[in-house]
Amino acid sequence: MIEWSQELLLAIEIGLLAYGVFAGITIVLERRRPAATLAWILVLVLVPVVGLVAYLLIGRRKARRSRRSRRRLRLRPTEATAEIANLEASPETMTPQVTGLLHLALSHSAAPIRHANGVEILRPRPAFEAIELAIAAAQHRIHLQFYIWRGDSTGQRLIELLTERAAAGVKVRLLYDDIGSIGTPLRHFEPLQAAGGEVARFGPLRLRFARPSGRLDFRNHRKLLCIDGELGFTGGLNVGDEYRGASRSGRVWNDLFVRMTGDAVLGLEAVFVEDWLTATDELVELYADLPHRDATRSMLERPSTPVTSTGPLVQIIPSGPDQTRRRGENNASVIAATFVAAIGTALERVWIVTPYFIPDEPLILILQTAAMRGVDVKILVPNPTDNDLRLVAWAARSYYDELIAVGCEIHEYRPGMIHAKYMVIDDSVAMIGSANMDVRSLYLNYEVTAMFYDGEVTKALAQVFLDDLADGVQVCRKDRTDLRLRWRLAEGFARILSPLL
């Protein structure tokens, strides 16, 4: 039996005390949400070794770019392009609701307002058809990034198209998230690279000096495609058979992509350029590879070709743990702030579709107050049986009671997994993007959302919602009252874990 000397025990006690004080001060200074602050302090103090390892891997508050990236990127591409807009052509009869949201948008230098020439909302099969046609027609440049890129028939088909374009001299850059695409072998991308295309992984998990070189929790959840600087796509689709409705399991995945043309594509492409810089330390000039642009000008200069689009107003909103506002404060929750502000302005309806519904306190409160003001609040989520993340579905159900009690309607989609992420506010605001309404998307992931200030786009998205709602079943108060104890316990435990989901 080992005997401990008094001096050694005292040294251990002092060391643990110093560690606890240091850990507490470190977490407090990061100014997280109170629940997250307390959780991390408890983990670090009660299980110091495991807690410290977890903190180093997934707990640090902000993502940091490499020193080379910070030197090369004196100004973010999204910020550098903030003045390239055509607001002079904005409608003069703008409602106070939209005016307020525009002011909020313009306060974020990373999310300027631009016009599109055209906007089209696409279901999965038409979306993949449009993507394939766009890639096949590309003449100069293709930039695309997805959270999940599978090596199945859908992924293989796109790689073949991209390889053909790269071989024809088109500049192709493909970025995918290393965790989201962890099951896809590197050899899947080799034909594209052999043809001259460039492929990069965001947050690679390879070991470097005995440390993971990528953060496990800061994942790039964005999905976007830009063709020749003039055509752009974004939304909730990933690259895989299940998203195209062609999986062997036969599972149906309902999702959305939005196709845009015109000046608004600049906002999407600036997001890609930032992510490409993070992944590769290579700064891509927005106007390079495009002969109709002045390729001699830097990204940080106003382009020689003036903006001319006069269609729907579009705000491309990027969000991530490495962003800052103009005044330097943390900007990781810019999409959350936009969601809350938009819901708070609603006078008639708030219609939401999200596959993963784990709202934080501000979102819960604004949804409740909207319903109590008489706003038609409807939320469509997957049913737990078809949700690919069952634990998340249980956590989502734990929020039903407090929303239903004040008049919100909760509907569960029945035909399969609904993976779309969109929102309709009254008759003039619509949002489609990659962000789920959960803590991870709002505060940890890199996300992108397209926000449209346009009556026609909003009308089209509202019809999509009504079609989806017709395939849902409303959750009634009686259903919740009769819920068995074991399911209430499951929901309660899942809710405790919700900040980590």
Query: Which residue among 171, 421, 438, 454 is the active-site one?
Result: 421
Helix segments in 380-429, DSSP class H: 390-397, 400-404
Please indicate whether residue 426 is annotated as part of the active site. yes
Of 241, 327, 231, 266, the C-alpha closest to 85 is 266
Please indicate whether residue 459 is annotated as part of the active site. no
Q: What angle do CA 478, 426, 410 make, to 5 degrees?
A: 15
Q: Beta strands of 103-196 (E only): which ranges? A: 113-115, 118-122, 141-146, 171-177
Of 261, 224, 233, 254, the C-alpha closest to 464 is 254
Fill in the amino acid letter for 205: L
Please indicate whether residue 62 is annotated as part of the active site. no
Query: Which residue among 171, 223, 378, 411 is the active-site one?
Result: 223
In this structure, the chain runs to a length of 501
Instruction: Evaluate whether 185 touches 165 at the Cβ level (below 8 Å).
Output: no
| HEC per residue, 219-256 | CECCCEEEECCCEEEEECCCECHHHHCCCCCCCCEECC
Beta bridge partners, 500, equal none
User: What is the sign of the dihedral through the CA atoms of 224, 225, 229 and 230?
Assistant: negative
Please indicate whether residue 438 is annotated as part of the active site. no
For the record, the structure tokens of 192 come out as: 């594209």
Please indicate whether residue 411 is annotated as part of the active site. no
Please indicate whether residue 108 is annotated as part of the active site. no
Query: Which residue among 419, 438, 454, 468 is the active-site one?
Result: 419
Query: Which residue among 241, 360, 426, 438 is the active-site one?
Result: 426
Query: Which residue among 228, 255, 360, 454 is the active-site one?
Result: 228
Query: Which residue among 221, 241, 360, 378 is the active-site one?
Result: 221
Active site residues: 221, 223, 228, 419, 421, 426
